[in-house]
Amino acid sequence: MGVKAYLKQGKPLLFDGAMGTYFAARPGRAAERCELANLEHPEEVSAIHRAYLEAGCRAIKTNTFSVGVDLAQGKHALARQIIAEGARLAREAAEPFGAFVFADLGPAPQDKEHSPAELYCLQLDLFLEQGLTCFLAETLPTDDGIPELARYLKRRCPDAFLLVSFAVGADGVTREGALGRELFRRTAALTEVDAAGFNCISGPLHLLRYIEGLERGDTLLSVMPNAGYPTVVGRRTLYKGTPDYFSRRMVQIVGAGASIVGGCCGTTPEHIACAARALEGTSIRCPAAPAEKARLRVEAGDVNPLWEKLRSGKRVVAVELDPPADDDLAPFLEGVRTLREAGVDAVTIADCPVGRPRADSSLLACKLKRELGVEPLPHMTCRDRNLNATKALLLGLSMEGVHNVLLITGDPIPSTDRDEVKSVFNFNSRKLARYVSGLNGESLSTPFQIFAALNLNARNFSVQLRLAQEKEECGVAGFLTQPVLSREALEHLIQARAVLKGKLLGGIFPVVSHRNACFLNNEISGMYVCDEIVSQYVGKDRAEAEELALRISTRIAREIQPYTDGIYLMTPFRRVELITKILKAIG
């Protein structure tokens, strides 16, 4: 009997629990890699399989979760051994119980040489050699490579059963910043996928609440939560969720529409035994359509003047003004007032540029919006905030009427400070854009318009262009470019205009001295002033250099106009008056 035939009987399919955490809890095994136990401690792996089967599960996973890492590292022989032994041990354990054996694939690592699809398909080939036809891709933070995996599997083995499971937190977001609902929707739409669902990170109650509002159609739903949430005791990580509590939630999860259930981190044979007893006689039920929840938010949302102007086809002017390094805000505010009177559409505020601490860009953005009525565009870096802190900040910005953000990875902390101050990068700008885009659809009455940076001065600009296209796929609606101060940068801008769909604000930086030009070329990443421009500043005093900056910036503004939707002026050394002269000259 196959998996589909089993489920047609109307009873849920119960999986095993967590091989990894259960193996790590055995004496002397906490520091060992679980998958290597297939080769080094096969009797222990077999004993764990039997313990879950005797507890009452009717499907077990091969002990192969991290084999994708071996393949990414070029360890093909080791991967083949782990999979061959993992498949043998699982089959031998399952046969007396008539249980299903699922080939277990963990998330494909981000690898420069191999795409996720390639790593998944390499594993499929090795599992198919062992005669396995049931597959579980689990704990996934994205669906990268899943469509290719599904198509490849069904070409190789049309009768195979494929279950795809994503790992979401209590807020329904993966560690890559992707929305679980959207991942589920896209995966369920693939005809080659037989079931989809969620596992890991969340405890049973949070996954229960999550699936209660899930639109799933007739897709077979799988839910395999953790036993609860981890607590560190001494050097051990423990899950305190009890088997009795877990089993009660399993009954509710099946009642909410899950056809396939089981356990992830922290779930032991005791958890599965208790769940098996509680589910005895339980039937799979198709849930009613999720009720529309009342939403206490303004239906129309706020107006976004900057984006409305861009969308209408009118050119915009954004000016960057560095935030103060102390608590004296007067010069900054005076500069903003001057820019407002000059007709600037938005003031962009850097987020601790060059990794040096300055006044918070988001707090300043709220102040400008509230007190001066100026449209701000705060920079938001991936440095020093995890996804929780980022969401909290975005919600605060939205409440204050700030609905445009510039997302950048951010500069690392300068090396001289790293002994005392550590950089924290949990994600990159693409992942952050995907996360903000997900919030737009889930939590916000007025969506953020997401901008990103485009480095026109990169040596390998084709890579930058590809990354920019990926950013657009993640929800980026426009780009602010690095300054055009060379013929190469202009050519790269023309390329970008031909390829990218989003709005482009062309970067202009008024170089104010020969020393300034040399500094930019040698110490600021992403900046390049061509020799022709640098040489013009030799011997110029301040007044002469500013007049030259005015002429060069005005010329560049006119050259880039056909390829941009506006300009992005960077203010050197708070010389706001120079910026106003450039704006007046441009007209």
The binding site comprises 200, 264-265
User: Which residues, other chains included, contact 423 with Cβ-Cβ below 8 Å and sequence gap of 6+?
Assistant: 355, 383, 384, 412, 413
Question: What is the 3 state secondary structure string of 323-380?
Answer: CCCCCCCHHHHHHHHHHHHCCCCEEEECCCHHHCCCCCHHHHHHHHHHHHCCCEEEEE
Contact between residue 496 and residue 482 where contact means Cβ atoms under 8 Å apart: no
Return d(Cα 274, Cα 204) in angstroms, integer: 14
With H, G, I as helix, E, B as strand and everything else as coil, classify residue 451.
Answer: strand
The residue type of 61 is K
Give the annotated binding-site residues for Zn(2+). 200, 264-265
Instruction: Determine which helix (DSSP H) or strand (DSSP E) holds 387, and give its type and residue range.
Output: helix 387-399
Return d(Cα 143, Cα 174) in angstroms, integer: 11
Return d(Cα 64, Cα 38) in angstroms, integer: 9
Q: What stretches of 213-329 show up as alpha helix (H) in DSSP? A: 243-255, 269-279, 305-311
What six digits make up the tokens of 413?
A: 């902390």
Return d(Cα 564, Cα 561) in angstroms, integer: 5
Residue 406 CA: distances (Å) to CA of 175, 216, 450, 454, 485: 21, 34, 6, 11, 22
DSSP letter string over 214-241? ---TT-EEEEE--SS-EEEETTEEEE--
Q: Which of 136, 193, 198, 134 is nearest to 168 (CA)?
A: 198
Return d(Cα 212, Cα 125) in angstroms, integer: 36
User: Which residues, other chains included, contact 415 with Cβ-Cβ below 8 Å and sequence gap of 6+?
Assistant: none
**Would the CA dihedral through 452, 526, 484, 347 be positive or negative?**
positive
Contact between residue 87 and residue 130 where contact means Cβ atoms under 8 Å apart: yes
